[in-house]
Amino acid sequence: MVKNMMNESQMRLPSIAISARDANRLRRLAEVAADKYPETAEFLAREIDRAEIVPADRPMRSVTMHSEVTFGDDVSGDERTVTLVYPDAADVGAGKISVLTPVGAALIGLSAGQTIEFQTPAGGWRSLSVKRVRSPS
């Protein structure tokens, strides 16, 4: 069970779009990770469930797997540019964050100009605003 995670009835969540290819793989990832990372896996699964699923052959302007995304932390004011990857390719030092982290799960499907607020598994609140999305080459 997610520890005090905010749900849609408590706050308006931004609309998100995920490619069909990413959605299928991410659903499987969330299922496999449910025992080891229950809060984040459930958060990711909820994000997929509420997303518009876009056919794989349609261009995406939202954060997809392997996108480079620049986002701001609305609380700290910090700005970061990262590439969203699957857990086996994660390397924080190289700017590659896993979709199976709270930040990665929050970013998937967002477009430039959108903001999402979420509660972390530790109980803190984060608010992230996407500044720029660059599709994978």
What sections of the chain are H helices per DSSP?
Answer: 20-33, 38-50, 102-107
The verdict on residue 104 lying in a domain is: yes
User: Quick one: pLDDT at residue 96?
Assistant: 98
Q: How many domains does the chain have?
A: 1
The boundaries of the domain holding residue 24 are: 17-134
- Give how far Cα 1 sits from Cα of 8, 42, 80, 86, 105, Å: 16, 8, 30, 23, 16
Q: Give the CATH number, domain containing residue 102.
A: 3.10.50.30
The verdict on residue 9 lying in a domain is: no
User: Quick one: pLDDT at residue 5?
Assistant: 42
* pLDDT tens for the chain, residues 1 to 137: 333 444 433 457 899 999 999 999 999 999 999 999 999 999 999 999 999 999 988 989 999 999 999 999 998 899 999 999 999 999 999 999 999 999 999 999 999 999 999 888 788 889 999 999 999 87
> CB of 19 within 8 A of CB of 54?
yes
**Rounded Cα distance, 120 and 43, in Å:** 10
The verdict on residue 33 lying in a domain is: yes
The verdict on residue 34 lying in a domain is: yes
The verdict on residue 7 lying in a domain is: no
The verdict on residue 79 lying in a domain is: yes
